[in-house]
Amino acid sequence: MSSVNVLRYSALALGLVVGLRTDMNLRCSAKKQAEEDTYQKQVALVKEAKAEWNKLHPKKVVESKEINLEDPNLDYAAVILNAVESLKST
């Protein structure tokens, strides 16, 4: 009879351990999923804000052939890209 009790309590203890482990895994995965959802919402908000900012502040493209290198607002990257594009088109 004592071996039956040992098996019964061993099964009970094993069930408790497995149940606790499963519970911890489920809680951990739910927490990770919630964090991922929050992160994705923040990423979407950042993309939306960047798009809105780009609408409100369009890039100034240097179209003229005359470039004033003393201008403090001169976009050197745009000047170089325009020069490269003009070389490609010829």
Domain limits of the chain? 1-89
pTM: 0.54
**79, 67 in Cβ contact below 8 A?**
yes
pLDDT digits (tens, 9 = 90+) for 5-50: 999 999 999 999 999 999 999 999 999 999 999 999 999 999 999 9
| 62, 79 contact by CB (below 8 A) | yes
**Burial tier of 78 (Cβ tally within 10 Å: 0-12, 13-18, 19+):** middle
Q: How confident is the model at residue 90 (pLDDT cuts 50, 70, 90)?
A: low
